Structure 1
Amino acid sequence: MSQHDITGKTILIAGGAKNLGGLLATDLAKQGAKAVAIHYNSESSAKDAENTVAAIKAAGAEAFAFQYDLRRADAVEKLFADAKQAMGSIDIAVNTVGKVLKKPIAEISEAEFDEMSDVNSKVAFFFLKEAAKNVSDQGKICTIVTSLLGAYTPFYAAYAGTKAPVEHYTRAVSKEVGDRGISVTAIGPGPMDTPFFYPAEGEDAVAYHKTAAALSPQSKTGLTDIEDIVPWIRFLVSDGWWMTGQTILVNGGYTTK
């Protein structure tokens, strides 16, 4: 068994109860993971977390679920401690947590900015901090950002702007843990067909996004599907370990840098 194989590995996924995180958790269990710990934010996701735990177990892996509001650094620390105690180690850590806001900058309140900064930037920073401290040697760390980091567009200053620092966090952390054989990456999906996407977009914007990628005609929704992103994460946290310090935009030709 390769040291970069998923077989027998222990995995922590923040935001792992549903959507992309839930699909990833189940997929990695099917790839032979020993145990998968998922995080969810609030009671509203508790049932989703239960369903994902059941799916992980059905795939043959141990499963654990932990509820925390990760906007506090001590909560991120406790999440890693809980996951490590439950599984014995953390070989792979993936952060899928994020929040979307589409608004002209002139209309964004201080409270809205603070919330976006906390969820998209602060959570990512402290997740990477704890991952650097707790992930096993030869481990893998991956964060979900957004393809808007490569776009020239209005209305997403708070969203893309608070995801942008994760590129720098990723580069810095990859240098700091590289001598332990740990790779650190970020993936920026295009607009994804999830419940988080539609409330932020008007009808016209949804129609545009569904035709904006070069490969949109080949997609079942025209958007980036979560099934399109999971294989990339799977690759980067296994055989693709030689890629590190990079932010990769995976969007079917929606935008590029």
Structure 2
Amino acid sequence: MSNQPQKTAIITGASRGIGADLARKLARDGFAVIVNYNSSADAAEKLVSEITDAGGTARAVAADVASRDGVAQLFDAAKSAFGGVDVLVNNAGIMTGGAIADTDDATFEKQVAVNLGGVFRGMRAAANQLRDGGRIISFSSSVVGLYQPHYGVYAATKAAVEALTHILAKELGSRGITVNAVAPGPVNTAFFLSGKSDELVANIAAMNPFKRLGEPDDITHVVSFLASEQGGWINGQTIRANGGVV
């Protein structure tokens, strides 16, 4: 048994989907986990119960990362419950597709507020409050680089996340904090499948050499590695976990 104090991870948007799987995985890895949610209180509390019943440590914390004080609430809750923060996973995100010409201001501003504003504030808080040797892991997307129609605003927000990642990695290196991004391809989750026909899903799955969608574990294992001691020499990178989509 290690005598080191338990490390703490904050995961934004963790009540369902990949975020929930990440919470389970990092809890199994030994982290005390802050399960952030915005509106899905029941799902978050159920997840916390699942983690604690399995011997892990977790707390559910409500906060809207798109608001100016949402991320601060998460860090305050983590420090109050567990004494500090070692890992931040910026997972919360939304996607509303549509041609750029047809995208109204409200749709644009909401995606920017969550996908970019939430990540920026998370990075800023982590830069000031993370313990030395910590990890900042943010979610981009493989739509960056593919430049597909109808993903313009979403791809733009994720490209900005990648830029922040590369720059912050250089700013925090002296403290041993790594800063990386994970850019999944299509993953078999309700978030991805919503509104898509079986034919469309099959066509998308055929885009990579393995001819399948990613599974949540394909992503959580990458994040787990980046959050671990073994991931300490990976810094300032965007890892495109997409099965080879180019």
Q: TM-score, normalising length from structure 2?
A: 0.94
* 1:189 aligned counterpart, secondary structure: coil
1:228 match: 218
2:16 match: 18
Which residue of 28, 31, 35 corresponds with 2:29? Answer: 31
- Within the alignment, does 1:130 sit opposite 2:121 as a pair? no
Q: Distance in 2 between matches of 1:161 and 1:250?
A: 19
- Within the alignment, does 1:237 sit opposite 2:232 as a pair? no
2:164 match: 169
Contact 2:13-2:37 at 8 Å conserved across structures: yes
- Greater percentage in strand: 1
Q: Distance in 1 between matches of 2:226 and 2:179?
A: 9
CA deviation profile, 1:133-182 (whole Å, cap 9, x unmatched): 11110111101110111213211001111111001111121111111100
1:253 match: 244
The one-letter amino acid of 2:60's match is: A
- Within the alignment, does 1:110 sit opposite 2:105 as a pair? yes
CA deviation profile, 1:77-136 (whole Å, cap 9, x unmatched): 121111111110111111111111221111111111011111111111111111111111
The one-letter amino acid of 2:160's match is: P
The one-letter amino acid of 1:213's match is: N
- In structure 1, stretches of 5+ residues that fail to align are 217-221
CA deviation profile, 1:26-79 (whole Å, cap 9, x unmatched): 11111222x11110011xx11210121012212322211111111112121121
Contact 1:102-1:201 at 8 Å conserved across structures: no
The one-letter amino acid of 1:242's match is: W
Q: Distance in 2 between matches of 1:113 and 1:201?
A: 22
The one-letter amino acid of 1:39's match is: N
By how many angstroms is 1:203 displaced?
4.8
The one-letter amino acid of 2:224's match is: R
Q: Distance in 1 between matches of 2:54 and 2:141?
A: 29
Contact 1:32-1:60 at 8 Å conserved across structures: no
Q: Distance in 2 between matches of 1:153 and 1:95?
A: 24
Residues 68 and 121 (structure 1 numbering): CA distance in 2 closer, same or farther, change over 3 Å?
Answer: same
Aligned-residue RMSD, C-alpha? 1.9
Runs of 4+ in 1 over 6 A off after TM superposition: none
Q: How does 1:209-220 map to 2 (within 5 A)?
A: 209-216=204-211
* 2:183 aligned counterpart, secondary structure: strand
- In structure 2, stretches of 5+ residues that fail to align are none
- Within the alignment, does 1:40 sit opposite 2:37 as a pair? yes
* 2:30 aligned counterpart, secondary structure: coil
2:92 match: 97
Q: Distance in 2 between matches of 1:201 and 1:121?
A: 25
1:190 match: 185
1:179 match: 174
* 2:97 aligned counterpart, secondary structure: coil
Q: Distance in 1 between matches of 2:134 and 2:147?
A: 34
Q: TM-score, normalising length from structure 1?
A: 0.90
